[in-house]
Amino acid sequence: MKITEINGHVARCISRGIEREINCFMLQDDPIAVGDFVMVHVGYAIQKVDATHAQLAWATDNALQTLPADHDNA
């Protein structure tokens, strides 16, 4: 997600048109700024990533979503 606002340990982020408030407490040793990208898991920013890695993650997710569901082999 891309950070659009920061207020203490809470950041407003956007990804694919979806906005969320994300807790950034776990990144307090890795300073973040508006415009940075973060990997988010269950509402927490767990890692700061560069724009190239963010685009790669989105492209990978897009590719996975186009695969047919195969529930028999899950």
Q: Is residue 70 part of a domain?
A: no
Secondary structure percentages of the chain, helix, strand, coil, to 5: 30, 40, 30
- 72 in a domain, yes or no? no
pLDDT of residue 65: 84
35 domain-assigned: yes
Residue type, 62: N
| CATH number (domain holding residue 48) | 2.30.30.140
pTM above 0.85, yes or no: no
Note whether 25 and 47 are within 8 A (CB). no
Angle, CA 61 vertex, CA 63 and CA 38 arms, to 5° = 150
Instruction: Identify whether 74 is part of a domain.
Output: no
Phi, psi of 35, deg, nearest 5: 100, -15
The reply to whether 34 falls in a domain is yes
Tens digit of each residue's pLDDT (9 = 90 or more) over 17-70: 999 999 999 998 989 999 999 999 999 999 999 999 999 988 898 888 888 876
Count of the separate structural domains present in the chain: 1
- Expressed as residue numbers, the domain containing 56 is 2-65
